[in-house]
Amino acid sequence: MAEYAHAHGVVVEGELGQLAGIEDDVNVSAADVAYTNPDQVEEFVKRTGVDSLADAIGIPEYMLREAAKSAVCKINIDSDLRLASRRGRKSIGKRSICI
């Protein structure tokens, strides 16, 4: 997939591991969490050809702030926003709305 994407000028991000929570229609329980194993990263990147790696480690906010000040080029905060949005939509869906 990465080879095809690169041939068309597209940058590819891969993800190694998974955190607990809900994203789109994927629901990962706490029992199924698989944090990124640092010993697997180099081989994963070589085998997949990805340009960047989304690791599954659950980063504390202070570390995100430090990363933002350094050479880190991308920080995802989307999962928390999606969870809040989903809860809001479910809450609204349970009530009738009169306009």
97, HSE (Cβ side, Cα atoms, 13 Å)? 6
Dihedral sign, Cα of residue 2, residue 68, residue 19, residue 90 = negative
Q: Give residue 22's region: left, alpha or beta (phi > 0; psi -120 to 50).
A: beta
Give the range among 16-25, 29-38, 51-60, 88-97 with minimum mean pLDDT: 88-97
pLDDT 10s digits, 31-85? 887 888 888 888 999 999 999 888 777 665 666 677 778 877 776 666 666 777 7
Question: Which residue, 4, 21, 20, is CA-closest to 12?
Answer: 4
Asked whether the predicted pLDDT for residue 17 surpasses 90, the reply is no
Amino acid at 95: R
Residue pointed to by tokens 């997939």: 1
